[in-house]
Amino acid sequence: MIPFSPPRIDQKIIDEVVDTLKSGWITTGPKTKLFEKKLTAYAGHKTTLCVSSGSAGLELMLRWFGVGEGDEVILPAYTYCATANVIIHCGAKPVFVDVNESDFNISVKEIEKAITTKTKVIMPVDLAGFPCDYDEINSLVKKENISKLFIAKTKEQKSLGRILVLSDAAHSIGAKYKGIKTGSLTDISVYSFHAVKNITTAEGGAICLNLPEPFNNAEIYKDLNIKSLHGQTKDAYSKVKIGNWRYDIVEAGYKYNMTDVQASMGLVEIDRYDNNMIVKRKQIFDQYSKELLKYEWAKIPVYETPEKSSSYHAFLLRINGIDEEKRDKIIQSIFDKEVGVNVHFVPLPMMSFYKNLGYNIKDYPVSYKNYSCEISLPVYYNLSKENVQTVIKAVVESVEENI
């Protein structure tokens, strides 16, 4: 069986984790802080806070910006539930908009239509690792007619004076837009290091702070450390220093910190990411593209343009001329050939929780169209060229058996 997306766990990662375990320091400590510094240097944004998950990072930043009841946050209908769930947790309203047919990413035109006086945040999602249209989104929130609609309620909102752009970059570490890496493309970006991501820390995430003046990103980093650890003014690593035990609780914070055990995995991967992991993933994408382009029914995902390059996280193959039912039969046929595939993602207006809130997939026709014929193919470090050929053979045979 060829699995869909197992993590890369090799001897270097094992050795680094064992080193952490033997060090006696396994919660947030020196390796987490080093990982934050390496992530900042890697993408070039202003500073980084590592957290327990990408979802925790998104929610923490919504709460930092003061998003709450009566507010609206715009996001694509085509995304994973985490993007929307954190908005619900804050008491705000998710405002879904449709996506581009070409690349699965949020439509800037649809964003503009959805902005109201209640809009506080736009959350673009770099689906499958391909960057959104950040220049257009960043320009949109600064347009005079749009900024006039913004009603600031909190100190942070007044300082920014416009809608915040909070990028869900869970898939896109290492992706580039006009030569700039995700993390530095807008106000704030959040990575995920979940088990299936390009860089994994088993579970984990990172907040990339890139806020403009008058914000002091270093001071915000300090504040977020407190918010992410129960509102405690010192973390455990600080408190073990001689005479430094006393601390205060200044707010009812959250438990969102990353541990050194997690960070040790990330430290190995970030050091070899550009010249190893991302190279291998691109080779897999290229092999799929070259072989599948021979078939008229295959719609290859966009993963490189003159302005953008993907992180090659997920290969979203679409099958021309099929419906959802036929797509599901093709997937079952591929499974029967012992190849693991997936679907990224079921649009959120199709999920019971969001349907019960009144969202209807008919309002997002492009999202549904893209979803109904999409099959995600395996992409991971240990997938050999021979494995890729096996996947292609299983896909081709399964499609041609069912169309």
SS3 of the chain: helix, strand, coil, percent, to 5: 45, 15, 40
The closest of 175, 196, 192, 193 to 184, measured between CA atoms, is: 175
Shared domain for 51 and 171, answered yes or no, is yes
How far, in Å, CA of 246 to CA of 114, rounded?
A: 48
Burial class (CB in 10 A: 0-12, 13-18, 19+), 357: middle
Provide the whole-model pTM.
0.97
Q: How many CA atoms within 13 Å lie on the side-chain side of 348?
A: 23
What is the tens place of the pLDDT at every residue in 100-152? 999 999 999 999 999 999 999 999 999 999 999 999 999 999 999 999 999 99
250 & 358 share domain: no
- 287 and 396 both lie in a single domain: yes
Tell which residue, 118, 138, 130, has the closest CA to residue 188.
Answer: 138
Are residue 149 and residue 254 in the same domain, yes or no?
A: yes
On whether the CB atoms of residues 209 and 49 are closer than 8 A, the answer is yes
User: What pLDDT does residue 243 have?
Assistant: 74
Domain identity same for 173 and 204: yes
Q: Are residues 88 and 228 in the same domain?
A: yes
Q: What is the CATH number of the domain that holds 355?
A: 3.90.1150.10
Q: Please check whether residue 4 lies inside any domain of the structure.
A: no
Q: How many domains does the chain have?
A: 2
Last residue within a domain, chosen from 264, 289, 308: 264
In a domain, 6, yes or no: no
**pLDDT tens, residue by residue, 213-241:** 999 999 999 999 999 999 999 887 776 77
For the chain, the C-alpha Rg in angstroms (whole number) is: 21
Query: Per-residue pLDDT for the chain (403 aa), expressed as one digit of tens each?
Result: 999 999 999 999 999 999 999 999 999 999 999 999 999 999 999 999 999 999 999 999 999 999 999 999 999 999 999 999 999 999 999 999 999 999 999 999 999 999 999 999 999 999 999 999 999 999 999 999 999 999 999 999 999 999 999 999 999 999 999 999 999 999 999 999 999 999 999 999 999 999 999 999 999 999 999 999 999 998 877 767 777 889 999 999 999 999 999 999 999 999 999 999 999 999 999 999 999 999 999 999 999 999 999 999 999 999 999 999 999 999 999 999 999 999 999 999 999 999 999 999 999 999 999 999 999 999 999 999 999 999 999 999 999 999 8
Domain membership of residue 91 (yes or no) is yes
Q: Provide the angle, in degrees to the nearest 10, between the axes of the packed helices 385-402 and 324-336.
A: 130
Predicted local distance difference test score (pLDDT) of residue 238:
78
Domain boundary among 210, 232, 264: 264
**Bridge partners for 232 per DSSP:** 249
CA–CA dist 220, 49 (Å, integer): 10
- Tell me if 383 is assigned to some domain: yes
On whether both 39 and 62 belong to a single domain, the answer is yes
Kindly state whether residue 5 falls inside one of the protein's structural domains: no
CATH number of the domain that residue 45 is part of: 3.40.640.10
Cα angle: 302, vertex 303, 307; to 5 degrees: 100
Residues 199 and 80 in one domain: yes
Q: Is there a single domain that holds both residue 256 and residue 279?
A: no
Give the contacts of 267 (CB within 8 A, at least 6 positions apart).
16, 31, 34, 35, 38
82 and 175 part of one domain? yes
Range of the domain at 253: 11-264
Asked if 109 and 246 sit in the same domain, the reply is: yes
Are residues 257 and 329 part of one domain? no
- Mark which of 209, 244, 264 sits at the end of a domain: 264
